[in-house]
Structure 1
Amino acid sequence: MNLRRVWAVVLKELRQIRRDRISMSMIVVIPVIDLLLFGYAINFNPRNLAAAVADQAMTSTSRAAVMDITATGVIRTHAVADTPQELVDMLRRGEISVGIAVPPDFDRRLADGRPALQVMVDGTDTVVQAAANQIAQTPLEGTSGTRPARASPQIEVVSFYNPERRSAVSIVPGLIGIILTMTMVMFTAMAIVREREHGNMELLIATPLDRSELMVAKVLPYAAIGLMQTTLILALGIWMFNVPLLGSLLHVYVAALLLIVANLALGLLISTRAQSQFQAMQMTIFVFLPSILISGFMFPFAGMPDPVQWVAEVLPMTHFLRLIRGIMLRGASLWELWPSVAALVGFTAVMMTTAILRFRKRLD
C-alpha cells in the first residue's frame, strides 16, 4: 500500500467536502442543534400536563386537595369544568390529558377514608399513565406530610380509552406516522435529484408540463403508496396487537392522507435544494429525528421547554399524533380535532408553494 497515494485521495475528499456547503453545514449544525434541542427536550419525568378540574364540593378542603395535586408540578390546570362528564368530553377532544373530579360529598368521603377524589387520565399516552401514579401518591389531608410510598386509597385513578394500560395501544397508531414520515419524505426528497443524476431531466424539460403539474405528478404516486402502507399497518396493528378503532375509518384515512401530502411536499422542497441523493438523505434524517423525539411519540410533549414545543408545533408528525390517537383510541372526529387538521393543511400549502417556486426546469 502506497501511503502517499492514499493521502492524496484523503486530501481530495476533504477538499470536496469543504467545497460542499450543505455537507459542511450538516457536519457542524446537526450535532449542535440535536444536542441543544434533544438535551432540553428529552425528559422522562412528566411535567405540566394539561388538566381540568371539576370541583363539585367547593369547600376549603377540596380546594386545598386540588392545590396539593397541582403543587406536584405534574399537571397544570388549563380549564375548569362543572361536571365529570365535561372532563370526559375534554379528554376525548384531546384538550386535556388529566381530569380531576371532586364529588359533592368530598369532605365526608375524606373523613370516612373512602376514595374521595377521582383522577381521569388519557390512557392513549403511556406517559400520562405514569403521571397518574405520581398524582395518586399525593396526600389529601392538606398537610405537609411525607408522600406515601404507594398510591393513596383516597385517590381513584381511572384510565380512559386504555384501561389495561397496554403500551401497544399508544405506540402502534404513532408508528403509522413514523413510518409515513420516514418513507414519504425520503422518496420525494430524492425525486428531482434522481432525475438529474440519471439524466432524465432533459426529457422533463422537453415536455409541455409546467412546474406545478410536474410537482403534483411527482406526489400522486407516492400518496397512493402511503395509503397502502397505512392499510398494512392498520391491519397488522388491529390483528396482531388488538389496537382498538373507536372512530371512523374514513377519518383515519383522511388524517393519514393529510400527513402523507405534508411529508411529500416537504420532501419535494428538500429535493429542490439537494445536489445529490446523499445530501437528500442527510436532510431527510435532519427532519426525521425531531419527528421521533419531540413530537410526543416517545417523550412527554408537555414537559418540554416552550422553545422546543414551538419547533415541534411546526412538525407534521406532532399534529398527526393528536389526530390518529384522537380518532382511533378516543373516538373523536376530525371536526373536534380541527386545529391539527388546519395545521397540516397550512404546512402542506406552504411547503408545496415554496417547492414549486424553487424548482426550475433546467439542468443548472
Structure 2
Amino acid sequence: MKQRLFSLIRKEFIQIVRDPRTLILTLIYPVVMLFLLGYAITNDVRNIPLAVLDRDRSGQSRALLDAYRASDYFKLEYYITSEDEMNYLIESNQARAAVIIPPNYGREIVAGRVGQIAFIIDGSDPNVSGTALTAAIMVGQSQSTKIVAQRTMRETQTQMPVDVRTQVWYNPGMITAYYMIPALIGMILQFLTTFLTSTSIVRERERGTIEQLIVTPIRSWELVAGKMVPYVLIAFFDMIEILVAGVLLFDVPINGSLMLLLVLSCLFLVTTLGIGLLISTVANTQQEAMLTTMFTLLPSIFLSGFMFPLAAMPTFLQAVSYLIPLRYFLIITRGIVLKGTGADVLLPEILALCFFAIVVMAATAVRFKKQLD
C-alpha cells in the first residue's frame, strides 16, 4: 500500500514538472493574490472627490472649505460655478459629493446666526456615501465648535452656527443591494463567458477534433464568431435573469434605458469572449486554461471597483485598474440602472470598451490564423 501511494505521489510530481506553464502559474498565483489582497481590500475611504460651489467667497466660506480639505476624507478637486456642472460631475462619477455654500453664508456667521450649507452625496456606492455623510456632518460640527470658541463671551450662543443639510441622490436609503446587483451583471457575464470559452479550443485539441477544423475551408474570424455566438446567447439570458431577479427580489430600480444596457453589454461580451478564446489558443490543456482564466478573473474582482472603492487603493493600483475592462462596464451598469445615465455621459467608458474589444479580437484572430495555417 505504501509503495502504491509513493508511486502515485511520484507520478503526480512528474506530471506537474512536465507542464511548466501550469507550474509557473501555480507558483506565481499565490504571490499575486497576496499582493492584491494586501493592498486592494480596505474599507477605509479617503480622498472622496468633492465639487465645490462657493457662492459666498468670503473668509468664512474659505475657512469651512479648509476644514473639509484638512479632514482627509475629501479632496476638493472641482471648483464649479453652477448646479448644472455639479449634476454632470456627479452623474459622470467624477465627483462623489458636492458642497454648496450660499451667498449669505459669511454674513450669517458674522451676525451670529446660523449659516446653512448644502452637501450633496452620490448614494450609488453605499460604502463611499456612508463615509461621506458621516464626515460631512462631523466636519460641520467641528467647524461650528471652532466658531463658537472664537466668538466673544458677551454673546449668548443658543444654536450651532453651521447647519449642514445633506441630501443623498440615486440611492437615498444607501442600500447595498442597489449597488451590487448591477455590478453582478458584469461579474457574472465575465466569469461565464471567459471560463466557458477558455476551454473550447483546448478541448477540441485534446479530443483530436482540431484537425478537422484546420482542414475545413473557413477563415479564422469565422471560427472566432462561430465559437462566440452560443455563449453570447447564454450570457444575454443570464443578464436578463439577473435583472429580473434584482427587480423582483431586491426591488432594484432600473432608471435608465434597458436597450442601451443591452447594447453596451454586447460590446463588453465581445471583449470577455475574446479573452476566453485567446486563453484557449494559448493554453495546452483544459486545466491550464482554467488556471489562466482564474488568474485574469480575480484581479478584475479586486481592481474594477466591484467590491472595494478604487479611491481607497494606492495610486499605482488605480493606474493598473485602467487595464481592466470590467472597471468601465461597472460604471456603465451602475450608471444606467441607478442614475439613468445616457450614452453621452458614458462616452469615455464606451470608447474604452471599443478599444479593448478591437485589441482582444485582433489578437485572438491572429492566434487562430497561426493555428489554422
One fold, TM greater than 0.5? Answer: yes
CA distance in 2, matches of 1:355, 1:145: 67
Q: How do 1:217-232 and structure 2 match up within 5 A?
A: 217-232=226-241
Aligned to 1:22: 21
Following superposition, the deviation at residue 79 of structure 1 comes to: 1.5
In structure 2, relative to structure 1, the CA distance for the partners of 1:216 and 1:145 (3 Å cut) is farther
Structure with bigger gyration radius = 2
Seq. identity, %:
34
1:140 pairs, out of 143, 147, 150, with 143
Aligned to 1:97: 96
Aligned to 1:234: 243
Aligned to 2:154: none
Following superposition, the deviation at residue 310 of structure 1 comes to: 1.8
CA distance in 2, matches of 1:297, 1:158: 24
Moved more, 13-22 or 316-325: 13-22
Following superposition, the deviation at residue 68 of structure 1 comes to: 1.0
- Tell me the TM-score normalized by structure 2: 0.90
**8 Å Cα contact 2:55-2:102 kept in structure 1:** yes
2:254 pairs, out of 235, 245, 253, with 245
**8 Å Cα contact 2:36-2:302 kept in structure 1:** no
Q: What letter matches 2:75 in structure 1?
A: R
CA distance in 2, matches of 1:64, 1:29: 51
In structure 2, relative to structure 1, the CA distance for the partners of 1:67 and 1:344 (3 Å cut) is same
CA distance in 1, matches of 2:48, 2:368: 43
1:352 pairs, out of 361, 365, 368, with 361
1:322 pairs, out of 320, 324, 331, with 331
Q: Deviations over 1:321-352 (max 9, x none)?
A: 11111111111112211111111111111111
| Larger fraction in helix | 2
Q: How do 1:25-36 and structure 2 match up within 5 A?
A: 25-36=24-35
Unmatched runs of 5 consecutive residues or more in structure 1: 147-151
Q: How do 1:208-357 and structure 2 match up within 5 A?
A: 208-357=217-366
Following superposition, the deviation at residue 264 of structure 1 comes to: 0.5
CA distance in 2, matches of 1:206, 1:269: 21
Following superposition, the deviation at residue 320 of structure 1 comes to: 0.6
CA distance in 2, matches of 1:268, 1:86: 43
Aligned to 1:45: 44
Following superposition, the deviation at residue 59 of structure 1 comes to: 0.8
Aligned to 2:204: 195
Give secondary structure in 2 for the equivalent of 1:163: coil
Q: What letter matches 1:135 in structure 2?
A: A
In structure 2, relative to structure 1, the CA distance for the partners of 1:3 and 1:113 (3 Å cut) is farther
Equivalent residues, number: 359
Following superposition, the deviation at residue 185 of structure 1 comes to: 0.6
CA distance in 2, matches of 1:154, 1:287: 48
Give secondary structure in 1 for the equivalent of 2:119: strand
Aligned to 1:125: 125
**8 Å Cα contact 1:122-1:129 kept in structure 2:** yes
Unmatched runs of 5 consecutive residues or more in structure 2: 150-160
Give secondary structure in 2 for the equivalent of 1:302: helix
Following superposition, the deviation at residue 50 of structure 1 comes to: 1.9
- CA-atom RMSD in angstroms: 2.3
**8 Å Cα contact 1:205-1:361 kept in structure 2:** no
**8 Å Cα contact 1:121-1:128 kept in structure 2:** no
CA distance in 2, matches of 1:144, 1:52: 24
Q: Deviations over 1:236-287 (max 9, x none)?
A: 1112211111111111112211221111011111111111111111111111
**8 Å Cα contact 2:124-2:178 kept in structure 1:** yes
Following superposition, the deviation at residue 116 of structure 1 comes to: 2.1
1:154 pairs, out of 121, 146, 163, with 163
Moved more, 99-108 or 60-69: 99-108
> Post-superposition, which runs of at least 4 consecutive aligned residues in structure 1 deviate over 6 A?
none
CA distance in 2, matches of 1:253, 1:188: 21
Following superposition, the deviation at residue 204 of structure 1 comes to: 0.9
**8 Å Cα contact 1:201-1:363 kept in structure 2:** no
In structure 2, relative to structure 1, the CA distance for the partners of 1:109 and 1:325 (3 Å cut) is farther
